[in-house]
Structure formats: structure tokens, C-alpha cells
Structure 1
Amino acid sequence: MDLQRLIDTFNFLDNWEDRYRLLIDMGRELPELPDEARTEGNRVDGCTSNVWLETTISDEHPPRMFFTADSDAFIVKGLVAILLKAYSGKTPQEILNTDIESLFDDLGLSQQLTANRRDGFVAMVKQVRNRAQAVQADETAGAPG
């Protein structure tokens, strides 16, 4: 499901109970994160529940960044799925240009989630953006000049 279809689906659902169910279902559809990826280096700081985010970078120029992630909380896992839809497979610049806050608002999540879950989502976004900035800086440093 692409992002616009996700927004349309969320807007179609009449109540938050159905939207939470959709979030949980999205989380259940995530591929299993291997145990070796559940390291401290992949752990997202700032989340109340455990969240691990693994990054793979392609050899293309500009490189594309692919993310796999998991959480031990059902709704957070759904938020992880949204994050992956927004960012995985994009270049660092595309990631940095993505207006995730607008997406969050379009889905109505900013009004419905607890402060802890919102903060956790912000922490996940920050980690993705920091990794994108680091990859972009490496690319710039390695560019012939």
C-alpha cells in the first residue's frame, strides 16, 4: 500500500478503533527482524517500548537506504510500518525532503496517539533522518572534487 492509499484508507475508516486495528494489522505484516539485528546500535532511543531499526545502504549513486524494523508493542509496530513506507528505498535527500509531520497529520495520528507514542515516533524519525544525513555527508566527502 502506497502512502496516498494509506491516507485514503485511514480517512475512509469512521472511528479510531478501526484505525488502531489497521495500524496493528500493518505491524503484523512487517517481516520478522532477525535476532542479530536487535542490537543496542539499532535500538531507537526515546521510545518507551523497544524499537530496533536496521539500515542497509545500496551501492547506487546516489545511494538508496532500506530500513527494516520491529517493536515489542503492537501499535508502535504499526507506526514502524508507516515509517518504513515513508522512507525505505529512498535516497538520503528524498528522506530529508519527506514531510513526515504532514503525513502524520493527514493520518490523524497526532490527535489520537498518546504523548509517549508520539514522542517515540518522533525519535524513530530523528534516527532515520540522522542516518540519512550521515550517508549524505559520506557521499559528499567521497565525491571527487
Structure 2
Amino acid sequence: MTMAELTQIIETFEFLDDWDDRYAYITELGEQLPDMPAAEMVDANLVHGCMSKVWVTARLSETASGTVEFHATSDTSIIKGLVAILLSIFADKTPEQVQNADVDKLFKRLGIFDHLSPNRHFGVYAMEQKFKTLAEGLQ
């Protein structure tokens, strides 16, 4: 996902007033993610602290100098949508920029944290930390 896609997510979220519509949109975002190869869906790539299974991988981009390419998925549709939002936040960023990305700010702006259970909120934090840890390992 790209920065333009993040802008589109924000605009769509702000357009949708009803949380049922927003949940449906989050689910749609997850459905648009490319499949993750089964070989990458291993314990080493799991996010610990998440109720759902979430896998994340990272590598330095071969095309965009110094940026990180993340690949991620989940076994739960709503969480897969949240993964898609996280992917858009971290898209086209260097490892240092990933470290400095303010996920809380965006999720609060979108009102997502107000509509997640405490366990899901903790899961988002665990996913964010996995992304940042992987990016740090690429520096």
C-alpha cells in the first residue's frame, strides 16, 4: 500500500458516518491484500500478543532505495483490514521513518480505538511493535 492509499483510507473513513459501514470498509481493505505465501506463515513471523493470528515479514526494497517492504496478513477479516491500514502507514518508509511513525495518532483520528475491545487495541499495539522491530533489524 502507498501513501496515496493511506490518504484514500482517511478520506473514506471521514466520509462514512456509520460504524457498521466503517467496519465493512476495514474488512474490504483486508480483502484487497495480496495473499501471503504459506512458507511465510510460520511461527517466526507471528505477532505475539494478538488474539488473532497475524504474520508480518519485512525486507529492504529492491526498487525504492532504503525503504522497507512489508508483507502481512491475518486469519481474521477485521484484523486483516487493520493490517492493511498499518501497511499503508508504513508504506514507502525507511526503517527510521517506520520507527517514528505515529500509529496511535492516525487510529485516534479515525476513531478506531474507540470501537475496539481492549484486547484488540493491545493487538494493534503488538502489530505496530512487530513492524517496528522488523524495520529496526534492517538498519
- Normalised to the residue count of structure 2, the TM-score between the two structures is 0.91
Q: What letter is aligned with 2:100?
A: N
Change (3 A) 1:9 1:59: closer
* Counterpart Cα distance in 1 of 2:102 and 2:37: 30
Task: Give the one of 85, 94, 97 matched to 1:94.
Answer: 97
Identity of aligned residues (%): 39
CA contact (8 A) 2:58 2:69 kept: yes
| Structure 1 unaligned blocks of 5 or more | 137-145
User: Please, what is the CA RMSD of the aligned residues?
Assistant: 1.6
Structure 2 counterpart of 1:133: 136
* Counterpart Cα distance in 2 of 1:109 and 1:61: 31
- Normalised to the residue count of structure 1, the TM-score between the two structures is 0.87
Structure 2 counterpart of 1:64: 67
Q: Does residue 114 of the first structure (1) align with residue 88 of the second (2)?
A: no
Structure 1 counterpart of 2:42: 39
1:97-132: per-residue Cα shift (whole Å, max 9, x none)? 211111111111010111121111110100111122
* Counterpart Cα distance in 1 of 2:48 and 2:65: 28
- Higher RCO by CA contacts (8 Å cutoff, separation 6 or greater): 2
Q: What letter is aligned with 1:8?
A: E
Q: What letter is aligned with 2:90?
A: Y
| Structure 2 unaligned blocks of 5 or more | none
Deviation, 1:58, is 2.8
Structure 1 counterpart of 2:108: 105
Q: Does residue 5 of the first structure (1) align with residue 32 of the second (2)?
A: no
CA contact (8 A) 2:73 2:83 kept: yes
